Amino acid sequence: MSDCKEIIQSPVFAKQKKKLKKQQRRDLDAAVRTIFVDPAVGTMKSGDLSGVQVYKYTSFSQQMLLAYEVSGKTLFLYALGAHENFYRNLKKYLHS
């Protein structure tokens, strides 16, 4: 069990989530619950994205990526999307 107490969505994450269909939102909610329970489940990134973890899950037979960071008792959700341009857009968001 994790010690996370709070989840904060970035504006980019909220905008991307708003565009999802109902079943895709359910899959995303399940992924967020998985991360909330065990924050170490994602892959830790290095280089420009150091400190950020990415969790991969499937929705409608498509692999989706969810970028997040755990700081203290807070889970920050940065971005989600398919693999195409995901890391480029994430890096642009984090360094702007």
Q: Is the pLDDT of residue 24 over 90?
A: yes
Each residue of 33-73: pLDDT tens digit? 999 999 999 999 999 899 999 999 999 899 999 999 999 89
Residue 1 lies inside a defined structural domain of this protein: no
Amino acid 52: pLDDT:
95
Each residue of 42-52: pLDDT tens digit? 999 999 899 99
Q: Is the pLDDT of residue 7 over 90?
A: yes
Question: 78 with 11: CB under 8 angstroms?
Answer: no
Question: 54 with 64: CB under 8 angstroms?
Answer: no
| E-assigned strand segments in 1-96 | 6-9, 43-44, 53-59, 62-71, 74-81
Number of domains in the chain: 1
Give the CATH number for residue 60: 3.30.2310.20
pTM of the model: 0.90
Domain hosting residue 45, numbered range? 6-94
